[in-house]
Amino acid sequence: MSTNVIETSDLGKRYGRTWALRECTLTLPAGHLAALVGPNGAGKTTLMHMSVGLTVPTTGTATVLGDHAPGSPAALDGIAFVAQDAPVYKNMSAADLLHLTRNLNLGFDADRARARLADLGIPLKKKAGKLSGGQQAQLALTLALARRPRLLVLDEPLAMLDPLARHEFMATVLTAMSEEGVSVLLSSHALAELERVADYLIVLAGGRVRAAGEVDDLLAGHRMLTGPAAEADRHARTLHVVQARRAEAQAHLLVKADGPVPPGWESHPVSLEELVLAYLRESRAGALSGADRTLATAAPSEVTK
């Protein structure tokens, strides 16, 4: 049986004439916290929805939790999904939500959920809509974890949280991973936070996978080269350049580390943020390669929110 919690092959989803995701082939091994990053409209939510069985693919296939079909009973029992904006019924109390979720899930651990809410200081009788944003997020996460999932899928859970609430939310996720062996797929724009916690990376842009793999392997497989701008075009024809920036005298080439460093150039390691932004800029510029690549002079930017 496969040890991958998600596998896709040529997966695609089309709405009318528009492809939200296409030619998506990837594997997510069990035991990782995988960061799913990309600008709005990149296909992140579509990939998540197909992985949990909320959306049917137009092309290709997907399996979860060792060859189960998304949306099948075996998959539903083992996957917990928290959608954007901490989805809880605002007019229901935390106690009512615990009761509802317990009735909808055979394996729901209500005692564990109550204990966790007590530890967090979240009152059971208070309506969810009256809780703070951080408390609503923790309530949604508590309901998900009380199902004791093998895979936890989180779609932008950090977007509306303040720094302390983000830290507390991720601390809970990491504890669930270490104590219960939960695998996590987390979509987020918060690159600084992801760099601290993620050990697997999937970059989506334009509905396609641009990079995927263990973070350590991806970082080791790329480097930043700095050297004379006048030589950048020549070296760009022979190096596997992901993204390039050039000033009047100096050029910076983020390259795959599969060749020698040109004489007179310096090599530096790259950060997760640099790597992600480089692939997103490459996608925006048209993803040209090899001898046809032209050097981009893109200004620094952030991942679109």
Domains identified in the chain and CATH numbers? 4-216 (3.40.50.300), 221-292 (no CATH)
* pLDDT (tens digit per residue) in 81-127: 998 766 688 899 999 999 999 998 878 999 999 999 999 999 999 99
6 band by pLDDT with thresholds 50, 70 and 90: very high
Asked if residue 170 has pLDDT above 50, the reply is: yes
Which pLDDT score is estimated for 294?
A: 36
Q: What is the mean pLDDT of the chain?
A: 88
- In DSSP terms, 151 is beta-bridged to 79, 183
Structure tokens at 268: 């530096």
If you average pLDDT over residues 6-21, what whole number do you get?
A: 95
If you average pLDDT over residues 270-283, what whole number do you get?
A: 90
pLDDT above 70 covers what percent of the chain? 91
If you average pLDDT over residues 17-33, what whole number do you get?
A: 95
Which pLDDT score is estimated for 285?
A: 66
Asked if residue 58 has pLDDT above 70, the reply is: yes
141 vs 126: CA distance, rounded Å: 17
Please, which residues have CB within 8 angstroms of residue 124's CB and are 6 or more apart in sequence? 93, 94, 95, 98, 114, 117
Asked if residue 267 has pLDDT above 50, the reply is: yes
